[in-house]
Amino acid sequence: MLSLYQPGTSPVHRCPAWVKLLAMLVLGTAAFFLTDLRVLGAGLAVVIGAYAVARIPIAAAWKLLRGVLVMLVIVVLAQGLLGDWPTAAQVGIRLLLVIGLANLITLTTTQTAIVDTVERIATPLRVFGVRPDRIGLLIALVFRFIPVIATEAARVREAHEARGVRPGLSYLAPLVIRTLRMADGLGEALEVRGVGEDDPPRRRGARVRG
């Protein structure tokens, strides 16, 4: 299975996973309360600078960003046409900042470190019936599916191009069908391994690691 993690020894790589997640939570939340384009732009510049410090290859950063770029452009254009362009610029920078932070964490932190950190954070919620191991499994599965879905999207796009179909939203239907089939297969595999029963998945060896 493909991994999005880019090995390195930079300060960003060595920073504990919980610190990165906390920074994303604080900065991401703050971004949605800021309206000054200069402050938002400075925040985005800091994120870009963190990519440079971490020495993330441009190709790796672009691979993660291009998947949501079309959606981002649509959101900004809709806001600009239906509202006003200054607000559209704010929305665009906010989204880029949050997405950039999330991608940076994904590129500089192993999946195992992220899953373990989230499970530790969720441990106190056991008193409310929350299963930290289930949350960790869900996050691990999301990480697993990101590169798989990206690969499937590329295959569908190539198939359309081979048939001379013009680029557009027509590739979404086969992509959704393939994704649902993969989800069904994964659900069956987890059910066979006993995930979803009363015993913790970890005890049954169903834990997904990156």
Taking only the tens place, the pLDDT of each residue in 22-56 is: 988 898 899 889 889 999 999 999 999 999 999 99
Assigned domain for 114 exists: no
Assigned domain for 43 exists: yes
> Residues 105, 15: one domain?
yes
For the stretch 62-94, pLDDT in tens is 888 877 787 888 889 988 998 889 999 999 999
> Quick one: tokens of 200?
């913790």
- What mean pLDDT is predicted for residues 94-122? 89
Assigned domain for 89 exists: yes
> Residues 125, 99: one domain?
no
**Which position has the higher pLDDT, 168 or 149?**
149
* CB-neighbour burial class of residue 73 (10 A; exposed 0-12, middle 13-18, buried 19+): exposed
* pLDDT for residue 206: 44
> Residues 128, 186: one domain?
yes
> Residues 162, 140: one domain?
yes
For the stretch 192-209, pLDDT in tens is 666 655 544 444 444 444
Q: Is the pLDDT of residue 106 over 80?
A: yes
Domain hosting 139: range is 121-204
| CB-CB contact of 79 with 131 (8 Å) | no
* pLDDT for residue 114: 86
Assigned domain for 154 exists: yes
> Residues 139, 186: one domain?
yes
> Residues 99, 128: one domain?
no
Mean pLDDT across the chain: 80
> Residues 129, 94: one domain?
no
Show which of 76, 109, 142 is a domain's final residue.
109
Q: Is the pLDDT of residue 10 over 90?
A: yes
Cβ of 3: how many Cβ atoms within 10 Å?
14
The percent of residues above 70 in pLDDT, for the chain, comes to 79
- What mean pLDDT is predicted for residues 130-148? 74
Q: Is the pLDDT of residue 155 over 60?
A: yes
> Residues 87, 23: one domain?
yes
> Residues 164, 190: one domain?
yes
Q: How many domains does the chain have?
A: 2
Assigned domain for 40 exists: yes
> Residues 54, 84: one domain?
yes
Q: Is the pLDDT of residue 151 over 80?
A: no
Does the pTM of the predicted model rise above 0.85? no
For the ranges 77-81, 90-94, 125-129, 155-159, the lowest mean pLDDT is seen at 155-159
> Residues 131, 53: one domain?
no
pLDDT confidence bin for 163, thresholds 50/70/90? confident
| CB-CB contact of 209 with 112 (8 Å) | yes
Nearest to 76 by CA among 100, 103, 94, 99: 94
Show which of 84, 109, 134 is a domain's final residue.
109
> Residues 83, 149: one domain?
no
Assigned domain for 115 exists: no
